[in-house]
Amino acid sequence: MAFITSAPSGQTGTLKQAAAAKKRPNLQAAQALAKQKSLEKKAGKYKLPLGELAIFTQQLASLLNAGLPLVQCLEALQDQTEDPVFRIIIRDVRVDISAGNSFSSAVKKFPRSFNSLFISMIEAGEASGALAEILSKVAAYFESSVKLTKKVKSAMTYPIAVIGLAVALVNVLLIFVIPVFAAMFADFGAKLPAPTQMLIDLSNFMKAWWWAIGLGCYGVYYFGGQFIATPRGRRLKDLSLVKAPIFGNLIHKIALSRFCRTYATLMRSGVPILRTLEIVASASNKVQVEDACVEIAKHVSQGGQVSDVLATNPFFPPMMKHMVKAGESTGNVDGMMNKIADFYDTESEATVASLTSLIEPLLIVFLGVIVGGIVMAMFLPIFQLGAVAGGLK
């Protein structure tokens, strides 16, 4: 007779825990591998913020100036980068360079992370043998762009927040508060003042058709974005922004500053003028600058000068045309362009400061008119109670 013996319950539990402990590292390794593959998939289409690119460029220039080899510099930056996707991009660039490819060809594989200006400057640095110096210039350019962008965004944050709060408050009043007053006024049995009746009708419309309003707003946003993505829509948007009553002057100055700064940085780094104009056009993000760059490229290829085109283009102010012409006469166009960019950066900062001080009282008046108008319209029947509730006498 055979006897079947079973392990004690305590031993069985120990075996299960050991098996679970064996599986746990395998599960963690699988999860880490899946996460790594997901990050590597994102790397090819990852859009690196300009601020992070500026920091990367400045750190790389500092390490190169310290005498470290390029591969070792990238390895150090890869270890200290907190962005996991950008860490993979740096790793791939480093591996590509270690395989014998150039730095410029390696970064070209990630066009959304490294913009055309960065790539062209790397090519110029490799050709001239002054990569560290050129990277320092690019880093300074990126930092000035980020600084100006942050100032504009910080100036816009307050009015956008206040307007958003005002819209939310008006919607709450129309949907939840005004119907209570409407029910009270209905008991009066008399004709309401026109502002009050219009506000009640608007409240009833929003309560009944809120979904249609939301759908209409989404449709305007979606189809408006689709139209702006077309060449005609983009042109119309850029022309309208520059002519906008309050912010148009600021947008115009920023576009001029970016044009001059990019042009000066590229020319000073030894990039050919036709390639410089291509990069300036793509970096400007304005159709007016793109059209001007195309016209300048045609004129220069025929032996003309940049100032000749600027003199006939209304987008560029007279001061800029005269300074560029003076720079061409002295052989210092890039220096003049840098001075113009400094001037418009200062003007842009002053405009942002003045707009910030101007927007606050305008927003107070705006909120007072909107909210105060609603409150007055709803209390108007009460103020005219004798006329509205005349049937109660």
67 and 195 assigned to the same domain? no
Would the pLDDT of 9 be above 60?
A: no
Evaluate whether residue 13 is within a structural domain.
no
**352 in any annotated domain:** yes
Q: Are 216 and 343 part of one and the same domain?
A: yes
Say whether pLDDT at 8 is over 70. Answer: no
pLDDT-based confidence at 4, cuts 50/70/90?
very low
Q: What is the pLDDT of residue 40?
A: 75
Residue 380 predicted with pLDDT over 50 = yes
Mean pLDDT of the chain: 83
Query: Could you tell me the CA-to-CA distances from 377 to 27, 192, 210, 374 in Å, in that order?
Result: 66, 10, 22, 5
Q: Per the domain annotation, does 85 fall within a domain?
A: yes
Q: Which of the listed residues 73, 95, 114 is the one where a domain comes to its end? A: 114
Are 271 and 382 in the same domain?
yes
Q: What is the CATH number of the domain that holds 62?
A: 1.20.81.30
Higher pLDDT, 160 or 246: 160
Residues 6+ apart with CB under 8 A from 363: 158, 159, 162, 163
Label residue 144 by pLDDT band (50, 70, 90).
confident
C-alpha to C-alpha distances, 94 to 55, 322, 380, nearest whole angstrom: 18, 46, 73
pTM of the model: 0.76
Range of lowest pLDDT (5-14, 99-108, 126-135, 324-333): 5-14
C-alpha–C-alpha distance, residues 103 and 56, integer Å: 14
Please say if the pLDDT value at position 194 is more than 70.
yes
Q: Which two tokens stand for residue 51?
A: 């601020």
Confidence at residue 25, expressed as pLDDT on a 0 to 100 scale: 61
Residue of 353 and 70 predicted with greater confidence: 70
334 and 187 in a common domain = yes
Q: Are residues 66 and 215 in the same domain?
A: no
Domain shared by 190 and 301, yes or no: yes
Q: What is the pLDDT of residues 146-170, one digit of tens each?
A: 888 888 888 788 888 888 888 888 8
Residue 44 located in a structural domain: no
| C-alpha to C-alpha distance for 270 and 127, rounded to whole angstroms | 9
Is the pLDDT score of 389 beyond 80? no
Q: Which pLDDT does position 19 carry in this prediction? A: 52
Q: Which two tokens stand for residue 133?
A: 């110096």
Query: By residue range, what is the domain housing residue 62?
Result: 50-114
Residue 5 falls within a domain, yes or no? no
106 against 188, higher pLDDT? 106
Spatial separation of the C-alpha atoms in residues 258 and 139, rounded to whole Å = 14
C-alpha 392/C-alpha 380 separation (Å) is 18
Model pLDDT for residues 356-378, shown as the tens digit of each residue: 788 878 888 888 888 888 888 88
Give pLDDT tens digits for 65-82. 988 899 999 999 988 888
pLDDT confidence of 188, banded at 50, 70, 90?
low
Same domain, 104 and 167: no
| Residue 171: other Cβ atoms inside 10 A | 13
Domain membership flag for residue 41: no
Per residue in 15-28, pLDDT (tens digit) is 555 555 555 666 67
| Residues 100 and 168 occupy one common structural domain | no
Residue 149 and residue 69 in one domain: no
Q: How far, CA to CA in Å, does 34 sit from each of 27, 78, 83, 100, 366? A: 11, 20, 17, 30, 52
For tokens 């108008």, the residue is 373
317 and 204 within one domain: yes
Query: What is the gyration radius of the CA atoms in the chain, in angstroms?
Result: 32
- Within-domain flag for 314: yes
d(CA 134, CA 113): 19
Helix, strand or coil for residue 98? helix
Question: Residue 56's pLDDT band (boundaries 50, 70, 90)?
Answer: very high
**Would you say residue 138 lies in a domain?**
no
Q: Are residues 158 and 211 in the same domain?
A: yes
Classify 103 in phi/psi space as left (phi over 0), alpha (psi -120 to 50) or beta: alpha
Interatomic CA distance for residues 328 and 307, integer angstroms: 8
Residue 285: strand, helix, or coil: coil
Domain count, the chain: 2
Query: In this structure, are 63 and 168 located in the same domain?
Result: no
Percent of the chain at pLDDT exceeding 90: 14
Task: Summarize pLDDT for 96-138 with one digit per residue, the tens.
Answer: 999 988 998 999 988 888 988 888 888 888 887 888 888 888 8
